[in-house]
Amino acid sequence: MATVLELGSDKASSLAGEVMARSGQNLSACYQCRRCASGCPVGEQTGYLTPDRLIRMIVLGKRDAALDNPLIWKCVSCYTCGTRCPNDIMTARVVDTLKKMAHEHRIRPSSPKVAAFHSSFIAAAKRAGRLNELSFMGRYTMKNTLGGLARLRLRGIIQDQKDQAGFGLVLLRKGRVHFLPQKIKNRRQFKRLMRKGRAWAGSVSKSPASQE
């Protein structure tokens, strides 16, 4: 009989340990009841790779699969999995941890636009202290275009530009675009706070309040 589940024992403990420490979630408590799966709104979009499957993957030590799969990029952070879990495992936080680990290991996201969106959002917010939709969307579109060019996906680029421009025009027509950029005062102090993360990350090897 073919092996259904294969345990890479040494890999398993290191992967599960790292994900549990960083996400603050006790994955060994998962007994695969699949309440998370039945509530996951993106199950169809991930080919039914649901939170329970992702947890199993991590526990079995499948590092490559855990860091490179559709769920970590299709997850919409609705937190349904976590609020329904009888063992209080918030898989959305596991998913967020895997996104960061994939980025650190330079694994190309299966949905590059999602990754580009979030990194552009944070870059724009850190710069002005507030999010300006125009500068943020410009940054995001630029990132996508360059990414698309690198992958030689010209048709995709053109379609994306059309979609963005179309949506932009609709917003403009309804008077819902603002050209005056929002900025906070005393940005020097703000940026000092933003940089503080590096020292903090070096001093602790856990995510915020991971022990709760």
Q: Is 93 in the site for other proteins (CB under 8 A)?
A: yes
Q: Which is nearer to other proteins, 22 or 63 (CB)?
A: 22
Residues 50 and 152: their CA atoms lie apart, in Å, by 31
Residues 20 and 91: their CA atoms lie apart, in Å, by 11
- CB neighbour list of residue 37: distance below 8 Å, 6 or more residues apart: 43, 48, 50, 51, 52, 53
Find the helix packing angle between 133-150 and 112-128, rounded to 10°: 140
Residue among 119, 138, 145, 153 that touches other proteins (CB under 8 A): 119
Angstrom distances, CA of residue 22 to CA of 17, 60, 92, 93, 207: 9, 18, 13, 9, 5
Residue among 106, 155, 176, 188 that touches other proteins (CB under 8 A): 176
Residues 147 and 75: their CA atoms lie apart, in Å, by 21
Given the rule CB under 8 A, which of 11-19, 26-34, 57-65, 88-96 is the region that contacts other proteins? 88-96
What is the greatest pairwise CA distance in the chain?
A: 67
Q: Is 104 in the site for other proteins (CB under 8 A)?
A: no
Give the footprint of other proteins on residues 66-85 (CB under 8 A). Answer: 73-74, 76-80, 82-83
Q: Rule CB under 8 A: which residues touch other proteins?
A: 22, 41-42, 44-45, 73-74, 76-80, 82-83, 88, 90, 92-93, 96, 99-100, 103, 111, 113-114, 116-119, 121-122, 125-126, 129-133, 140, 163, 167, 170-171, 174-178, 182, 184-186, 189-190, 192-194, 196-197, 199-201, 203-204, 207-209, 212
